[in-house]
Structure formats: structure tokens, C-alpha cells
Amino acid sequence: MPVQPILRYPHPVLKKLCHRVEQIDQKIHELIQDLVDTMLDGPGSVGVAAPQIGVTLRVCVVDVSKNRHGKENNHGLLCMINPEITARSGSATMREGCMSVPDYTGDVDRATDITLRFSEPDGTLREIDASGFEAVAIQHEMDHLDGVLFLDRVTSIKTGLFRRKNY
């Protein structure tokens, strides 16, 4: 499947609440492949959510295994349909960036440990515990499904938002 163009803030789709996937069919499989291809094409990307490519469905992908922050602690490629966090604990502030907001990064407070339930592409319901950078990346992508950008969560617009030097 082809790499899809990433919508950029302030595109209105990025602020929409996404719909649950009711049936996992060929269109959902194609969407997941588009998300994976788009993530792999993005510079340093560790995840992409459906609304970033213009689709308002609760689907996202995350893979931190090739990133230096997630190399030692990850579940590999996660293709998540209708994900929901059932538990969270801990807190840390990390610098986040986003392909939909390419010119900025920002400090965001997130839970450091989460329990997550989602459907896999084959329809299997899966529950995992994620921590550290992987937990942060999952929360970031899941925020997209609720129309929330990292800009909405920056610790301080005055001191926690930074112009990106390179992208």
C-alpha cells in the first residue's frame, strides 16, 4: 500500500473524535498497511494514527523497537484497533514531536506505565502492559483518536514548546 500524506495542524480532521471500528474487513487491513507504510517513511516516526491520514476511525500503529529510547523495552509493531487504556500509573515529562506538527516539539506529562486493550487485525482481543517510551508513544497516538494533539498537553506554552531545528 502507498505511503499517505500526513495532515498538518490546523487541519480540522485532527481535532475530530474518531469512530469505533465495527467490523474488521479488507478496508481496515488496507488502512493498517497504509499506516505502517506511512510510519516507516516518516523521519524518526514511531507511530501514526488514522486521523493523521484523514480517516476518522479508531486505528493506530506504534513501533518503538528501532528507536534508541524504545529498543530495550517494546512489543514490536502494534497494530491497534479500538484501543483503550484500562490502567495507568507513574508520571514523566518527555519531549514529544509529531508529523502533524512538524515545526515544533514540546514537553508533555504522560503516564509511564499503562495497561492497554485493543483488537488486532485478525480480530483477536489483546491486552498488554507497556512502560517507558513505548507507553508514551501509545498515549500520543491514542490522543489523535480523540482529537487531541501534543500541543494540547504541553506543560507550558512559554517554557515547554520548542521550534524544531531539523526535521
Residue 90, domain CATH: 3.90.45.10
- Return all residues near 166 (Cβ < 8 A) that are at least 6 apart: none
pLDDT in tens, 79-95: 999 999 999 999 999 99
Distances (CA, A) of 84 to 25, 72, 74: 20, 24, 18
Mean pLDDT value across residues 9-29: 98
Q: Give the residue among 52, 161, 59 at the shortest CA–CA distance from 106.
A: 161
Residue pair 100/6 in contact by the 8 Å Cβ criterion: yes
Is 135 within the bounds of a domain?
yes
- Name the pairing type of β-strands 78-89 and 47-49: unpaired
Catalytic residue among 22, 84, 96, 141: 141
> Residue 16's domain spans which residues?
12-163
Mean pLDDT value across residues 67-81: 97
Model confidence at 46: pLDDT above 90: yes
Is 5 within the bounds of a domain?
no
Is 65 within the bounds of a domain?
yes
Place of cell 500509573: 89
Which ranges of the chain does DSSP label H, i.e. alpha helix? 26-41, 132-145
Is 2 within the bounds of a domain?
no
Q: How far is CA 28 from the centre of its chain?
A: 17
In the sheet that holds 125-131, the strands lie side by side as 47-49, 59-62, 78-89, 113-119, 125-131
pLDDT in tens, 144-163: 999 999 999 999 989 999 99
Active site residue 141: yes
Residue pair 126/117 in contact by the 8 Å Cβ criterion: yes
Question: Does residue 70 sit in helix, strand or coil?
Answer: coil
Is 36 within the bounds of a domain?
yes
Number of domains in the chain: 1
- Name the pairing type of β-strands 47-49 and 59-62: antiparallel
| pTM flag (> 0.75) | yes
